[in-house]
Amino acid sequence: ERQRSFVTTSCKAFDEMLGGSGVPAGRVTEICGAPGMGKTQIGMQLCVNAQILSSQGGEHGEAIYIDTEGSFIVERVVEIAEATLEALNAGKDSQDSQTIEQFLSRIHVFRIHSYVEQVALINQLDDFLTEHPKVKVLIIDSIAFHFRQNFADMGLRTRLLNGMAQHLRRFAEEFDLAVVMMNQMTTRVTRGQGSDNDSSVLVPALGDSWGHACTNRIILSWQYEVRYAALVKSPNLQECTIPYAITSKGVRD
Ligand code: ATP
Ligand code: MG
């Protein structure tokens, strides 16, 4: 097997949790979290970091961002890219530098407004990926948004989700890129004896079987002003929880 490549998250503890260097190519990583936990920030950071030059330890690649919620903010990406460049060039003569325009031009954003568009795009992505062999990371933010409310035909929903999961796994392997899908959380009520004893917990959206769609699953949370990321499913890595931060510069330790 050839050496696997990674895209760093810009948070050392996060990268280490994922095996050392970030989100792995060839794999599907799911990042779940309630609103405001940082899914979109992590997605934008990964789009920037996929482009870090080989001479600076990166993949010098491109990124795809499938935006189903309208949350991709160009101004924020610029801020993250500027901070990333500054950190990479600190204390070096910056002959190897890239411009912000170059960074933006290598992020291919697809805005999706319905589940039909989402399924159609993923079905057609083979051609795009063949034409853009430098794509190193494929973000879907979020996978569940158009599949949650008002979905009458649950059988159809399951078939569409399974089909997408299959495509995503194959993209990761065939095109040697890191697929990162963001997922929302949903409340699950466990019935106790008498309604006073009902308890509810937050679980990743789309149900238990969807848990098989990813290789690694991470759940983001927040407690006493600290952000945490927990690896809750992986075939080969130690399950653990690490703290991380989001600053004006992006994702950090
Ligand atoms: P949703 O499910 O609503 O899409 P999310 O998990 O995608 O939520 P993000 O939008 O990634 O959440 O995270 C938003 C949080 O990131 C904000 O609450 C804020 O704390 C932090 N954040 C965003 N921009 C900045 C910034 N420029 N400086 C510092 N923190 C920021
Ligand atoms: Mg978001």
- Is 39 near ligand 1, meaning CB less than 6 Å away? yes
Cβ atoms of residues 171 and 163 within 8 Å: no
- Is 40 near ligand 1, meaning CB less than 6 Å away? yes
- Is 41 near ligand 1, meaning CB less than 6 Å away? yes
| Residue 90 pLDDT > 90 | no
Does the reported pTM lie above 0.90?
yes
- Per-residue pLDDT, 191: 85
The percent of residues in the chain predicted with pLDDT above 70, rounded, is: 97
Provide the ipTM.
0.99
Tens of pLDDT, residue by residue over 111-125, are 999 999 999 999 999
Cβ atoms of residues 125 and 174 within 8 Å: no
- Which amino acid residue places its CA nearest to atom 17 of ligand 1? 36
